[in-house]
Amino acid sequence: MKSYSKKIRGIYLGHQKLIIITLLCGYFIFEVWGVRYIAERKAEKPNNIKEGCLYLRSSYTDTSKMKILRLTIDGHKVESHRTFSGNMPYGYKWNGQQRDEFYQYLEYNKEKCHPIQYVNINLLITRKIFIYDYLGDFKPTTNTKKY
């Protein structure tokens, strides 16, 4: 029986496509859940938590009306929604309206260095920064209790 698949370097073309699709899906899953998990595990050891300055570069509202801040953390450009993990003090200290107040505070104090603690993930395929805690002088006016 004659094979209709084209063979390139010992691997059939159909297999190459399957391998590429599998790698892309694996990378997507890693970006969404894996990096955040690694950051939370690294944050358990105090020597992995660094201190630095957070500066606001700009802000915009996305299509779902969510405010996104473009930040600079120790010279590395990041976006606010990519620096968040709910299992770190910054994540469970402020939520909802408190975070909106914090974003407004950053917009009014753009040039100021906002001291933070962060976890740096520097892997071969990705580099991410997650805010561990905010050390500055901002205090939310709304209630910070969890209900």
Q: What is the pLDDT of residues 13-64, one digit of tens each?
A: 567 778 888 888 877 777 666 777 888 888 889 999 999 999 988 888 888 8
| CA proximity to 75, closest of 52, 59, 106 | 52
Contacts of 108 (CB under 8 A, 6+ apart): none
The model carries a pTM of: 0.70
What are the domain boundaries of the chain? Answer: 7-134
Q: What is the pLDDT of residues 47-106, one digit of tens each?
A: 999 999 999 888 888 888 878 888 888 888 887 766 766 667 776 666 667 778 888 888
Burial class (CB in 10 A: 0-12, 13-18, 19+), 108: exposed
In angstroms, what is the C-alpha Rg of the chain? Answer: 21
